[in-house]
Chains A and B, each alone.
Chain A
Amino acid sequence: MTETTLERPESQIAAIWHQFRQHKGAVFGLCVLAFLVAFVLIGPLLWQTEVLKVSEALKVKNQGPSLRFPLGTDQLGRDMLDRMMSAGRVSLAVGFIAMMIAIFFGTFIGILAGYFKRLDGALMRLTDMFLALPLIPLLLVMVMLFRDRIAKLVGPEMGAFILIVFAIGLTSWMHAARIVRGEVLALKEREYVLAARSIGAPPRRIILRHILPNVVSPVMVAATLGIAEAIITESVLSFLGLGFPPDFPTWGRLLFDGLQYMQLYPERVIWPGLAISLTVLSVNYIGDGLRDALDPKARGR
């Protein structure tokens, strides 16, 4: 008699990873994102840009791609590859952290509003108020109040970074909150939630064990949109002078600076534009894959 060996049952993480790998787009996204992150983190260690004096830099301005400057130079003779790498670090960091702040607040408020009827009214009105606040004066006030104090603690660049990240996070959570609240309102009436309530499970347990895992799907969509929005909002802020100091570029800033040269040197717009698009694309695909992987009905297909 042939013995059938039982396979060890997969752990949940392994099962999710297995399902994730089925989604080709998600794998593609993961690879691209990993490449971009490596580009900005490890790249500077591999590519040591020359430190040129101003007069020397100006002699090499507006050059196309070459061995010395793989992505060319800009109007002041600065190496575009180096700028793309340092800008990428800031952009990716801003995008991710601002999005996480926004998602955190949004999910928190959304769940509270959806689950606890008493809090719903007040929290949703709070959401309305934040939606109605004009972003630019809010930023100006935040910058005015806090920039010097934070800069004293952590230096001007880090200070600007913290301010921008919080400003974007605090002004983009509303969307996620609404989505989550909508989902929670629907989930609250599902049979398994009613069952859990009937056996006396405390709200905290119900939220953490039943509601939260099921709102992951729409939150993923909101998160992926949130990263793109964060990076783009940061670029708009840069061009209004509310962003980082001028010698601290971000992809959005590079894109904006390149716009006036677009007809003459389109590559200055293509590189940062491509970088932003690829980041969002890959994050989106990953989000898609994650959503599929976490959905129990989809597993085993």
Chain B
Amino acid sequence: MLTYTLRRLLLAIPTLLLISLVIFLLVDLAPGSPASEIPLTVPPEVRAKILEALGVNEPLHIRYLLWLKQFFYVEPLNGIDWLFGTDLAGDMQRIISYQTRSPVFPLIGQRLPQTLTVIGTAYLVGVMIALPIGIYSAYKQYSLFDQFGTMFAMIGFSVPTFFTGTVFIIVFGVWLGWFPTKYDTTLKVTDWASLIKQLRQMAMPVMVLGLANAAAISRYMRSSMLENMKQDYVRTARAKGMSERTVVLKHVLRNSMIPVVTIIALGIPSIFGGAIITENLFGVNGIGAALIGAIHGNDLPMVQTLAFIFAILIVTFNLIADVLYGLLDPRIRYD
């Protein structure tokens, strides 16, 4: 297992480099340019000058190598400077976003709290709802609970989030007025009142996303439980006289959790890039919204950096999921 993990970690480096190159080529090849957001009233010569100043016209390999150097050398130095107050980075040029003409990493840092708070909570809530529903649905297969659980899951992932989100906004925000329709990112939680405010403005996006997450995970949980409930060892355990509770929660659940845990681990990167529509709808202005905004504006450095961070997360969590899978299931042999 250890050699496997080390081997994977070593393999991850060239993989990530290759991924970064592919993403760079893809975004560069894609039609569209950062000039699309400049109003048409600006004459073409001025536009050309703007693009020149952004560095868009440099040859491809120069831009890629510059980005690599900035990402792996300049930005970590800036990070150390920020943490420890040193001045190692000096005047070295950082990765600059075309849209804002400011460094990319502080932008990401600004957006991270919202994403983690709202989207992360939604994921957690989704998982916590999904597991009991999946377990009980499988245990009482075809019962009324199962039917309802299935229907809830169906609604959860068959209806797109832009639909549920808009319905929620109109029902809870406009008609009932229970929750604000726009997320205030400047709200700082300092006391009880502001905490209530924060919870109130998080309620709708968390509900919308949590529903979608819960639906998918509960299906997997249920399907995994069903498979294991039919195994011979369950029959044996029951025959031995164990209580249902022990059988289900101690034997079946543990074995069923294996694929589900890996699926949960695989879903974590999606917190950072997947909730684009929800973020847009509620004005949460997190990382997903930043990515889609950058893609629309053809902001290559921003897209490249965000997509690469996303790739790192995916590779890391894939590794974690695989290692977990190997650790939890003794039947799996990697070496």
Contacts and interface: CB of A to CB of B under 8 A. Distances in A.
Given A128-B315, A131-B314, A259-B166, A217 B227 contact: yes
Interface stretch (A85-93, A150-158, A181-189): A181-189
A124 interface: yes
B223 A262 contact: no
B99 interface: no
Contacts of A9: none
Nearest to A279: B158
Contacts of B23: 132-134
Given A140-B30, A262-B166, A284-B154, A276 B159 contact: yes
Nearest to A232: B160
A198 B265 CA distance: 36
B94 interface: no
Interface stretch (B76-84, B117-125, B324-332): B324-332
A280 interface: yes
Given A182-B259, A225-B216, A284-B150, A132 B158 contact: no
Contact of B159 (A125, A132, A277, A291): A277
Contacts of B155: 277
The listed residue with most A CB atoms (<10 A of its CB), out of B19, B29, B158, is: B158
Interface residues of B, number: 58
Interface string A217-233: 11001000100110010
Interface stretch (B100-108, B185-193, B303-311): B303-311
Given A134-B291, A182-B262, A255 B163 contact: yes
A298 interface: yes
A185 B311 contact: no
Interface string A270-284: 000100110111001
A236 B295 contact: no
B92 interface: no
Interface string B267-311: 001000000010000000000000110010000000100011011
A217 B225 CA distance: 12
The listed residue with most B CB atoms (<10 A of its CB), out of A134, A144, A178, is: A134
Contacts of B227: 217
B240 interface: no
Contacts of B311: 128-129, 131-132
A132 B295 CA distance: 14
Contact of B154 (A144, A186, A281): A281
Contacts of A179: 259
B303 A129 contact: no
Nearest to A145: B29
Contact of B307 (A125, A134, A189, A218): A134
Contacts of A295: 230
Nearest to B325: A182
B159 A138 contact: no
A263 interface: yes
A138 B307 CA distance: 12
A252 interface: yes
Interface string A98-135: 00000000000000000000000100110111011110
Contacts of B195: none
Contact of A259 (B163, B308, B318): B163
Interface string B2-32: 0000011001000100110011001101111
A128 B318 contact: yes
Given A128-B311, A128-B314, A132-B19, A225 B27 contact: no
A12 B219 CA distance: 28
A50 B166 CA distance: 33
List the 10 shortest-distance A-B pairs measured between CB atoms, nearest first.
A132-B311, A280-B158, A137-B30, A140-B30, A125-B15, A277-B158, A232-B160, A281-B154, A189-B331, A144-B31
14 contacts: A131-B314, A133-B22, A133-B307, A134-B23, A137-B303, A141-B26, A186-B331, A186-B332, A189-B332, A228-B158, A229-B157, A280-B154, A284-B150, A297-B230
Given A137-B27, A178-B262, 12 more contacts: A125-B11, A133-B26, A134-B23, A136-B292, A136-B295, A141-B31, A182-B325, A189-B333, A276-B159, A277-B154, A277-B159, A285-B150
